[in-house]
């Protein structure tokens, strides 16, 4: 569903874009204005359309005013909105591919009908590329939440790192908790149990370790992702996605062809994260394929 909105300057162009959306078999919803009397205020309609996109009622939005600027400023004040104001195809397409823009604004007094339709078509068919660009989107979201985008830093180390050793123990406790001891992970955990993991990435917030992920050669062209952990108070801030981005990039640099990992069906958030990143279920992944409730997943790099 595409949200449409405009002030009086954009009504005629909005109707032309409705025809384009119909041709592309895309559903749309008009949030106004419906009146050409010039008494309308673009912030009202920009807000309505932006809220619809931010809430998930609509997937994207196309907004119009005289220059495209005013309505973009209004829409951009809604949390979760990433606006691009464009008058050329390249900018519109790249705003989606690299910036994952979810609202396009154009100036009805700036671009003609055919150019506007061309811009809209390219923007609507472009796809977000993810990867390193998601890391930057995460930083933008931290700004939106009043946080310093550079508050998080990352450092490479190995399994002997004290912070990772502590996270290793925390993951053992967590696995034991969610399996009710079925994972047979009770008892003493050796201090150096994590030492066999040669590549580790630590996420830090102003020097405080808040998350980790490791890499350990598995077999042949596969490398295993180990111990993805985010401290509870930092979950939901896309740190796991950023860790995965960097860990997968490192695996590519190391010339591996596939990353493999083990998780559990009961860990719904983790499974969703991996599926969203393109991981698929695999079999014959010993010894984890013998654990009750365990699933094994892989991603071709």
Contact 101, 68 (CB under 8 A): no
Phi, psi of 276 (to 5 degrees): -65, -30
Is 65 noted as a catalytic residue in this protein? yes
From the candidates 65, 86, 212, 296, give the one annotated as an active-site residue.
65
Question: DSSP of 26-43, one letter per residue?
Answer: --EEE------SS---HH
Closest by CA position to 61, among listed 51, 49, 43, 73 = 49
How far is the C-alpha of 124 from the C-alpha of 46, rounded, in Å? 19
60 strand-pairing partners: 2
144 CB-near residues (< 8 Å, 6+ apart): 79, 80
How far is the C-alpha of 210 from the C-alpha of 229, rounded, in Å? 8
Burial class (CB in 10 A: 0-12, 13-18, 19+), 232: exposed
Q: For residue 232, how far is the Cα from the chain centroid?
A: 19
Active site residues: 65, 98
């Amino acid at each position: 569903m595409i949200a449409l909105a405009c002030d009086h300057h954009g009504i005629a162009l909005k109707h032309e874009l409705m025809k384009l959306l119909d041709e592309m078999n895309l559903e749309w919803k008009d949030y106004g204005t419906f009146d050409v009397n010039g008494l309308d205020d673009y912030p009202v309609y920009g807000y309505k359309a932006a809220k619809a996109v931010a809430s998930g009622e609509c997937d994207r939005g196309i907004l119009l005013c005289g220059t495209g600027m005013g309505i973009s400023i209004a829409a951009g004040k809604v949390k979760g909105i990433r606006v691009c104001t464009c008058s050329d195809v390249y900018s519109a397409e790249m705003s989606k591919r690299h910036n994952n823009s979810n609202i396009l604004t154009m100036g009805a007094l700036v671009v003609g009908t055919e150019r506007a339709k061309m811009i809209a078509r390219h923007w609507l068919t472009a796809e977000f590329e993810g990867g390193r660009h998601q890391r930057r989107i995460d930083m933008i979201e931290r700004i939106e939440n009043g946080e310093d985008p550079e508050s998080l830093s990352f450092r490479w180390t190995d399994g002997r790192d004290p912070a990772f050793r502590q996270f290793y123990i925390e993951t053992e406790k967590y696995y034991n908790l969610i399996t009710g001891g079925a994972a047979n992970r009770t008892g003493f955990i050796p201090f150096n149990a994590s030492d066999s993991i040669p590549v580790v990435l630590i996420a830090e917030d102003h020097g405080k370790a808040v998350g980790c992920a490791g890499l350990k050669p598995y077999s042949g062209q596969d490398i295993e992702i180990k111990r993805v952990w985010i401290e509870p108070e930092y979950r939901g801030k896309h740190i796991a996605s950023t860790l995965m981005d960097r860990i997968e990039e490192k695996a590519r640099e190391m010339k591996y062809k596939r990353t493999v990992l083990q998780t559990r069906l009961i860990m719904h958030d983790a499974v969703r994260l991996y599926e969203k990143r393109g991981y698929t279920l695999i079999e014959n992944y010993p010894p984890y394929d013998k654990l009750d409730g365990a699933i094994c997943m892989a991603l071709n790099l």
